[in-house]
Homo-oligomer: A and B are copies of this chain.
Amino acid sequence: MIEWQRGRTAVDMIERDDGLLVANQSAPMLFAPLRRWPEAEREAVCLARGDVLDVGCGPGRVALHLQGRGHRVTAIDHSPLVVQVARDRGVRDCRALGLDQVGPGIGHFETVIMFGNGFGLLRSRAAAPRLLRRLAAVTAPGAQILASSLDVYQTSDPVHLAYHARNRARGRMPGQLRLRIRHRHRATPWYDFLMVSRDEMAEVAGAGGWRLDRTIGEGKYYVGVLTRGAVG
Protein backbone atom coordinates (compact mmCIF):
# COMPACT_ATOMS: atom_id res chain seq x y z
CA MET A 1 0.00 0.00 0.00
CA ILE A 2 2.87 2.32 0.83
CA GLU A 3 4.37 1.62 -2.60
CA TRP A 4 1.02 2.28 -4.23
CA GLN A 5 0.83 5.61 -2.43
CA ARG A 6 4.23 6.43 -3.92
CA GLY A 7 2.93 5.75 -7.39
CA ARG A 8 4.28 2.24 -7.88
CA THR A 9 2.12 -0.69 -8.82
CA ALA A 10 3.37 -3.15 -6.26
CA VAL A 11 1.63 -6.50 -6.25
CA ASP A 12 1.28 -8.23 -2.96
CA MET A 13 -0.33 -11.57 -2.59
CA ILE A 14 -3.02 -12.91 -0.30
CA GLU A 15 -2.35 -16.44 0.87
CA ARG A 16 -5.11 -18.57 2.39
CA ASP A 17 -4.24 -21.44 4.68
CA ASP A 18 -5.35 -24.02 2.11
CA GLY A 19 -2.50 -22.79 -0.09
CA LEU A 20 -4.60 -20.55 -2.33
CA LEU A 21 -2.47 -17.64 -3.48
CA VAL A 22 -4.03 -14.70 -5.29
CA ALA A 23 -2.95 -11.18 -6.14
CA ASN A 24 -4.25 -8.57 -3.72
CA GLN A 25 -6.20 -6.27 -5.95
CA SER A 26 -7.51 -3.96 -3.30
CA ALA A 27 -4.81 -1.29 -3.54
CA PRO A 28 -6.55 0.93 -6.13
CA MET A 29 -9.81 0.72 -4.17
CA LEU A 30 -8.11 1.84 -0.97
CA PHE A 31 -7.40 5.19 -2.58
CA ALA A 32 -10.50 5.49 -4.72
CA PRO A 33 -12.64 8.64 -4.74
CA LEU A 34 -16.34 8.26 -3.97
CA ARG A 35 -17.40 7.77 -7.60
CA ARG A 36 -15.29 4.60 -7.83
CA TRP A 37 -16.41 3.01 -4.59
CA PRO A 38 -18.50 -0.14 -4.73
CA GLU A 39 -22.07 0.92 -5.31
CA ALA A 40 -23.30 -0.49 -1.99
CA GLU A 41 -20.78 1.60 -0.05
CA ARG A 42 -21.52 4.70 -2.08
CA GLU A 43 -25.16 4.38 -1.16
CA ALA A 44 -24.55 3.39 2.47
CA VAL A 45 -22.17 6.23 3.28
CA CYS A 46 -25.10 8.65 2.92
CA LEU A 47 -26.57 7.10 6.06
CA ALA A 48 -23.69 8.31 8.20
CA ARG A 49 -24.80 10.75 10.87
CA GLY A 50 -23.10 12.48 13.76
CA ASP A 51 -19.63 11.60 14.94
CA VAL A 52 -18.08 8.73 13.06
CA LEU A 53 -15.63 6.00 14.01
CA ASP A 54 -13.94 4.61 10.89
CA VAL A 55 -12.60 1.15 11.77
CA GLY A 56 -9.78 -0.23 9.62
CA CYS A 57 -9.53 3.09 7.85
CA GLY A 58 -6.59 2.22 5.59
CA PRO A 59 -5.32 5.30 3.79
CA GLY A 60 -8.51 7.11 4.68
CA ARG A 61 -10.82 7.17 1.68
CA VAL A 62 -13.95 7.06 3.87
CA ALA A 63 -12.64 9.31 6.61
CA LEU A 64 -11.61 11.97 4.10
CA HIS A 65 -14.99 11.86 2.41
CA LEU A 66 -16.91 12.20 5.68
CA GLN A 67 -14.63 14.93 7.02
CA GLY A 68 -15.41 16.82 3.84
CA ARG A 69 -19.10 16.42 4.60
CA GLY A 70 -18.62 18.02 8.02
CA HIS A 71 -18.54 14.96 10.24
CA ARG A 72 -16.15 14.66 13.13
CA VAL A 73 -14.29 11.46 12.23
CA THR A 74 -12.00 9.31 14.32
CA ALA A 75 -10.20 6.84 12.10
CA ILE A 76 -8.33 3.82 13.39
CA ASP A 77 -6.12 1.23 11.76
CA HIS A 78 -3.96 -1.37 13.43
CA SER A 79 -0.95 -0.43 11.31
CA PRO A 80 1.09 2.64 12.36
CA LEU A 81 2.49 2.86 8.81
CA VAL A 82 -0.99 3.00 7.34
CA VAL A 83 -2.03 5.58 9.92
CA GLN A 84 0.87 7.75 8.84
CA VAL A 85 -0.28 7.51 5.21
CA ALA A 86 -3.83 8.47 6.23
CA ARG A 87 -2.54 11.46 8.20
CA ASP A 88 -0.37 12.56 5.31
CA ARG A 89 -3.44 12.46 3.12
CA GLY A 90 -5.32 14.74 5.48
CA VAL A 91 -7.19 12.55 7.96
CA ARG A 92 -7.25 14.79 11.01
CA ASP A 93 -7.83 12.28 13.83
CA CYS A 94 -6.19 9.01 12.96
CA ARG A 95 -4.83 6.51 15.48
CA ALA A 96 -2.90 3.26 15.35
CA LEU A 97 -5.41 1.05 17.09
CA GLY A 98 -6.84 -2.37 16.42
CA LEU A 99 -10.53 -3.14 16.84
CA ASP A 100 -9.66 -5.18 19.93
CA GLN A 101 -8.13 -2.06 21.52
CA VAL A 102 -11.21 0.10 21.09
CA GLY A 103 -12.45 1.32 24.45
CA PRO A 104 -14.40 4.17 26.03
CA GLY A 105 -11.38 6.49 25.96
CA ILE A 106 -11.57 7.15 22.26
CA GLY A 107 -14.94 8.87 22.07
CA HIS A 108 -18.63 8.38 21.66
CA PHE A 109 -19.98 7.81 18.18
CA GLU A 110 -23.29 7.71 16.38
CA THR A 111 -21.94 5.89 13.38
CA VAL A 112 -19.31 3.19 13.03
CA ILE A 113 -18.01 2.54 9.52
CA MET A 114 -16.43 -0.75 8.52
CA PHE A 115 -15.99 -0.55 4.77
CA GLY A 116 -13.70 -2.42 2.43
CA ASN A 117 -15.07 -5.77 3.60
CA GLY A 118 -14.72 -4.38 7.10
CA PHE A 119 -17.14 -6.84 8.69
CA GLY A 120 -14.27 -9.27 8.20
CA LEU A 121 -12.41 -7.62 11.07
CA LEU A 122 -14.84 -9.37 13.42
CA ARG A 123 -12.74 -12.45 12.60
CA SER A 124 -14.95 -15.38 13.56
CA ARG A 125 -18.22 -16.41 15.16
CA ALA A 126 -16.30 -16.82 18.40
CA ALA A 127 -14.49 -13.48 18.35
CA ALA A 128 -17.25 -11.27 16.92
CA PRO A 129 -19.54 -10.77 19.96
CA ARG A 130 -16.73 -9.46 22.13
CA LEU A 131 -15.62 -7.05 19.41
CA LEU A 132 -19.18 -5.90 18.76
CA ARG A 133 -19.59 -5.20 22.47
CA ARG A 134 -16.44 -3.06 22.32
CA LEU A 135 -18.16 -1.02 19.65
CA ALA A 136 -21.34 -0.85 21.71
CA ALA A 137 -19.28 0.62 24.54
CA VAL A 138 -18.26 3.63 22.44
CA THR A 139 -21.70 4.31 20.99
CA ALA A 140 -25.12 5.36 22.24
CA PRO A 141 -28.35 3.35 21.94
CA GLY A 142 -29.64 3.84 18.41
CA ALA A 143 -26.13 4.10 17.00
CA GLN A 144 -25.42 2.29 13.77
CA ILE A 145 -22.67 0.23 12.23
CA LEU A 146 -22.33 0.30 8.44
CA ALA A 147 -20.29 -2.78 7.57
CA SER A 148 -19.57 -4.31 4.20
CA SER A 149 -19.08 -7.98 3.50
CA LEU A 150 -18.86 -10.41 0.64
CA ASP A 151 -21.32 -13.26 0.33
CA VAL A 152 -18.73 -15.90 -0.47
CA TYR A 153 -21.35 -18.58 -1.00
CA GLN A 154 -22.20 -17.16 -4.43
CA THR A 155 -19.47 -19.21 -6.07
CA SER A 156 -19.14 -22.45 -7.98
CA ASP A 157 -15.35 -22.57 -7.68
CA PRO A 158 -14.50 -26.02 -6.28
CA VAL A 159 -11.46 -24.66 -4.45
CA HIS A 160 -13.66 -22.25 -2.48
CA LEU A 161 -16.38 -24.82 -1.95
CA ALA A 162 -13.83 -27.26 -0.53
CA TYR A 163 -12.56 -24.52 1.78
CA HIS A 164 -16.07 -23.84 3.07
CA ALA A 165 -16.62 -27.54 3.67
CA ARG A 166 -13.35 -27.81 5.56
CA ASN A 167 -14.38 -24.88 7.77
CA ARG A 168 -17.75 -26.45 8.46
CA ALA A 169 -16.06 -29.71 9.43
CA ARG A 170 -13.98 -27.76 11.94
CA GLY A 171 -16.99 -26.01 13.40
CA ARG A 172 -16.09 -22.65 11.86
CA MET A 173 -18.32 -20.47 9.81
CA PRO A 174 -17.65 -21.45 6.19
CA GLY A 175 -16.52 -17.94 5.28
CA GLN A 176 -13.97 -17.64 8.06
CA LEU A 177 -10.81 -17.21 6.02
CA ARG A 178 -7.38 -17.65 7.52
CA LEU A 179 -5.15 -15.33 5.54
CA ARG A 180 -1.84 -13.63 5.42
CA ILE A 181 -0.41 -11.02 3.10
CA ARG A 182 2.88 -11.72 1.41
CA HIS A 183 5.06 -9.22 -0.38
CA ARG A 184 8.47 -10.27 -1.66
CA HIS A 185 10.15 -11.86 1.38
CA ARG A 186 7.74 -10.44 3.92
CA ALA A 187 4.64 -12.05 5.32
CA THR A 188 2.14 -10.84 7.90
CA PRO A 189 1.11 -13.25 10.64
CA TRP A 190 -1.91 -15.39 9.82
CA TYR A 191 -5.18 -13.72 10.74
CA ASP A 192 -8.84 -14.62 10.51
CA PHE A 193 -11.15 -12.65 8.26
CA LEU A 194 -14.88 -13.31 8.22
CA MET A 195 -16.99 -13.24 5.06
CA VAL A 196 -20.71 -13.71 5.60
CA SER A 197 -24.01 -14.08 3.86
CA ARG A 198 -26.73 -11.63 4.81
CA ASP A 199 -28.34 -14.21 7.12
CA GLU A 200 -25.05 -14.91 8.81
CA MET A 201 -24.46 -11.21 9.32
CA ALA A 202 -27.79 -11.00 11.13
CA GLU A 203 -26.85 -13.95 13.31
CA VAL A 204 -23.36 -12.64 14.18
CA ALA A 205 -24.68 -9.13 14.84
CA GLY A 206 -27.41 -10.47 17.11
CA ALA A 207 -24.94 -12.45 19.21
CA GLY A 208 -23.04 -9.22 19.84
CA GLY A 209 -25.99 -7.06 20.81
CA TRP A 210 -26.65 -5.46 17.43
CA ARG A 211 -29.50 -5.93 15.02
CA LEU A 212 -29.20 -6.14 11.24
CA ASP A 213 -31.90 -3.70 10.12
CA ARG A 214 -31.35 -4.02 6.41
CA THR A 215 -28.73 -4.55 3.78
CA ILE A 216 -27.76 -2.32 0.88
CA GLY A 217 -26.69 -3.73 -2.47
CA GLU A 218 -28.00 -6.54 -4.60
CA GLY A 219 -24.83 -8.44 -5.48
CA LYS A 220 -22.24 -10.50 -3.64
CA TYR A 221 -20.79 -7.38 -2.07
CA TYR A 222 -23.17 -5.56 0.22
CA VAL A 223 -23.38 -3.30 3.26
CA GLY A 224 -25.28 -4.21 6.40
CA VAL A 225 -26.92 -1.53 8.52
CA LEU A 226 -26.69 -2.62 12.14
CA THR A 227 -28.35 -0.75 14.98
CA ARG A 228 -27.62 -1.00 18.64
CA GLY A 229 -30.21 -2.18 21.10
CA ALA A 230 -30.84 -0.39 24.39
CA VAL A 231 -28.39 -2.49 26.37
CA GLY A 232 -24.66 -1.82 25.83
A18 within 8 A of B: yes
Residue in chain B with minimal CB distance to A186: B19
Residue in chain B with minimal CB distance to A12: B21
Contact of A159 among B22, B23, B182, B184 (CB under 8 A): B184
Residue in chain B with minimal CB distance to A11: B23
For A21, the chain B residues whose CB sits under 8 A away are 13, 21, 182-185
B23 touches A187 (CB 8 A): no
A–B Cβ pairs within 8 angstroms, 19 of them = A11-B11, A11-B23, A13-B13, A13-B21, A18-B185, A19-B182, A19-B185, A19-B186, A19-B187, A20-B184, A20-B185, A21-B21, A21-B182, A21-B183, A21-B184, A21-B185, A22-B184, A159-B184, A159-B185
The 6 closest A-B pairs by CB, nearest first: A20-B185, A159-B185, A21-B182, A19-B185, A13-B21, A20-B184
Q: How far is the CA of A23 from the CA of B24 in the complex (A)?
A: 13
Copies of this chain per assembly:
2
Q: How far is the CA of A18 from the CA of B19 in the complex (A)?
A: 17
- State the A residues within 8 Å of B (CB): 11, 13, 18-23, 159, 182-187
Q: How far is the CA of A184 from the CA of B158 in the complex (A)?
A: 12
- Chain B min CB distance to A213 (Å): 37
- Chain B min CB distance to A8 (Å): 14
Q: How far is the CA of A18 from the CA of B182 in the complex (A)?
A: 12
New contact pairs (16) apart from A13-B21, A19-B187, A21-B185, CB-CB < 8 Å: A11-B11, A11-B23, A13-B13, A18-B185, A19-B182, A19-B185, A19-B186, A20-B184, A20-B185, A21-B21, A21-B182, A21-B183, A21-B184, A22-B184, A159-B184, A159-B185
For A18, the chain B residues whose CB sits under 8 A away are 185
- Chain B min CB distance to A69 (Å): 39
Q: How far is the CA of A185 from the CA of B160 in the complex (A)?
A: 10
Q: How far is the CA of A19 from the CA of B186 in the complex (A)?
A: 7
- Chain B min CB distance to A125 (Å): 25
Residue in chain B with minimal CB distance to A22: B184
Q: How far is the CA of A162 from the CA of B184 in the complex (A)?
A: 14
Q: How far is the CA of A182 from the CA of B18 in the complex (A)?
A: 12
Q: How far is the CA of A45 from the CA of B187 in the complex (A)?
A: 41
